């Protein structure tokens, strides 16, 4: 390790894998955990207390659908008491009357709402849930009415990439302060569905132009964050800001991971909260130390002047495409396997129209 | 939706930290942190001095005077930097003007 280890700033808590939606791009693992594997209320509270002691300043409460946990208010108020910033990441479907008020009163700082399509039919198709968009819009309006800051998250793929302008108008009209146009990352269920989700290059280029124009036009009015599509990239993303560098995540069963796809790297063993403390895991876990800093890097990363910009990119993508988690992320133009990305785009774009919606929906206990 | 407009800083703006932007001391790192949706900022000394005056009561003019006194500097030297800072933080949705 070249630098001293610093405490983590952010943590993603996947409170549950249960979800009323079955989104085909879900970032959760294919092996979803049932309710009986979830940490208890007390275990999550102990974990949050330790995270605050360790230096975590921001916690994203996610899932699955985090509002399915009846103890969510307790988590928010525990974190608010500790001065930790809370961000609720919700699908906005099935939230009971009065729940958002209670979460605000418990001290919730921010809410991020996912919307699968600017058109109702698209949202229904992607999440396989009838009437989902109306419910989401009700949640968005309520959030703004309660004075909570709202981010709309729009995961982008072939089936909604032409709705990007409509997403921008929708987020503006809802009073969102921020919109994420987030091209789907091909891990978890998105990897399984890659051939039916991958957009084509022309659509991606149109999208980039639309977003850049809107970002300039809406400066100071609404922030638009763009998550670029890896397969079309020249350089990789600094995934998680670098492996185990300033953030980590916890799965519903308490397994502590550097990122949500890390369990796809078969050579690594991840510990659960309870077997070890968060501090022990952050500092000593061999899996956390496996790709920290740059000592682990192979060429072309090792001698690259961008190595502290993108940290070699995504380890899980290197695993999925190069078959080696220590390889350069093939999204990088310097990767010897970079051409593989274009080949995978070609493979996806060659899917016959009659099979364009052969989705494998996210379901517990079924892949 | 056209009613949403970019706020532009002026002498008479009374900047205030947004309710969801929280300035707090972090004992783990011995530093002041500004917590906001999705992001943590680590403002430097000068930024902190400005942010502490963003209380919705001081006008930009008064903030500049106050800082000119604190830093023993001419107002006209400080004003452009303060205004630029506040415009930027308004554009990041951390401060209302």
Best to test chain A binding among B7, B35, B97 (most A CBs inside 10 Å): B35
Interchain contact, B37 vs A222, CB within 8 Å: no
Burial of A311 (0-12, 13-18, 19+ CB in 10 A): buried
Residue ranges in chain A assigned as alpha helix (H): 41-54, 72-81, 99-106, 120-127, 132-145, 164-174, 188-192, 194-197, 201-217, 278-284, 286-289, 307-310, 315-317, 338-349
> Considering the entire predicted model, what is its pTM?
0.95
Nearest to B16 by CA among B44, B54, B67: B54
Tokens, residue A303 = 């001698």
Identify all chain A residues contacting B22, using CB atoms and an 8 Å cutoff.
83, 85, 109
Angstrom distance (rounded) from CA A39 to CA A269: 19
Interchain contact, B38 vs A172, CB within 8 Å: no
Taking only residues 273 to 302 of chain A, the set having a beta carbon closer than 8 angstroms to any beta carbon of chain B reads none
Q: Report the complex ipTM.
A: 0.91
In tens digits, chain A (367 residues) has pLDDT values of 446 899 999 999 999 999 999 999 999 999 999 999 999 999 999 999 999 999 999 999 999 999 999 999 999 999 999 999 999 999 999 999 999 999 999 999 999 999 999 999 999 999 999 999 999 999 999 999 999 999 999 999 999 999 999 999 999 999 999 999 999 999 999 999 999 999 999 999 999 999 999 999 999 999 999 999 999 999 999 888 889 999 999 999 999 999 989 999 999 999 999 999 999 999 999 999 999 989 999 999 999 999 999 999 999 999 999 999 999 999 999 999 999 999 999 999 999 989 999 999 999 886 5
Number of other CB atoms surrounding residue A128 within 10 Å: 17
Could you please report the per-residue DSSP string of A148-215? --EEEEEEE-TTTGGGHHHHHHHHHHHT-SEEEEEEPPSSHHHHHTHHHHPPPHHHHHHHHHHHHHHH
């Amino acid at each position: 390790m070249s630098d001293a280890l610093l405490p983590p700033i952010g943590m993603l808590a996947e409170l549950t894998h249960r979800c009323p939606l079955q989104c085909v791009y879900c970032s959760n693992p294919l092996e979803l955990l049932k309710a009986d594997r979830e940490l208890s209320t007390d275990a999550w509270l102990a974990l949050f207390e330790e995270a605050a002691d360790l230096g975590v300043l921001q916690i994203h409460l996610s899932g699955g659908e985090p509002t399915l946990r009846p103890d969510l208010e307790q988590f928010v108020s525990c974190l608010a008491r500790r001065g930790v910033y809370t961000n609720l990441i919700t699908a906005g479907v099935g939230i009971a009357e009065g729940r958002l008020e209670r979460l605000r009163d418990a001290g919730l700082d921010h809410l991020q709402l996912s919307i699968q399509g600017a058109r109702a039919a698209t949202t229904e198709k992607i999440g396989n849930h009838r009437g989902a968009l109306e419910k989401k819009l009700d949640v968005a309006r309520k959030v703004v009415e309660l004075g909570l800051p709202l981010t709309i998250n729009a995961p982008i793929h072939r089936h909604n990439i032409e709705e990007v302008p409509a997403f921008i108008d929708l987020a503006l009209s809802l009073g969102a302060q921020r919109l994420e146009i987030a091209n789907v990352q091909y891990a978890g269920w998105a990897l399984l569905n890659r051939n039916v989700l991958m957009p084509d290059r022309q659509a991606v280029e149109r999208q980039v132009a639309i977003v850049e124009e809107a970002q300039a036009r809406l400066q100071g009015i609404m922030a638009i964050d763009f998550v670029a599509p890896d397969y079309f990239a020249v350089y990789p993303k600094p995934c998680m800001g670098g492996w185990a560098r300033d953030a980590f995540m916890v799965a519903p069963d308490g397994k502590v991971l550097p990122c949500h796809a890390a369990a796809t790297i078969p050579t690594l063993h991840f510990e659960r909260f309870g077997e070890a403390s968060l501090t022990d895991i952050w500092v000593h876990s061999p899996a956390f130390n496996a790709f920290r800093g740059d000592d682990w890097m192979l060429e072309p990363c090792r001698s690259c002047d961008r190595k502290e910009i993108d940290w070699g990119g995504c380890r899980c993508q290197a695993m999925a495409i190069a078959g080696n988690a220590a390889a350069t992320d093939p999204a990088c133009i310097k990767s010897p396997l970079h051409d593989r990305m274009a080949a995978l785009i070609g493979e996806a774009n060659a899917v016959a129209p009659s099979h364009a919606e052969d989705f494998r929906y996210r379901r517990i206990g079924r892949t | 939706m056209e009613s949403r407009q970019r706020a532009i800083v002026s002498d008479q703006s009374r900047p205030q930290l947004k309710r969801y932007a929280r300035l707090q001391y972090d004992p783990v790192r011995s530093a002041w942190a500004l917590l906001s949706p999705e992001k943590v900022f680590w403002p430097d000394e000068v930024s902190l001095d400005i942010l502490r005056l963003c209380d919705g009561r001081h006008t930009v003019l008064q903030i500049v005077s106050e800082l000119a006194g604190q830093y023993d500097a001419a107002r006209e030297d400080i004003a452009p930097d303060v205004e630029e800072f506040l415009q930027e933080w308004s554009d990041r949705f951390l401060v209302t003007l």
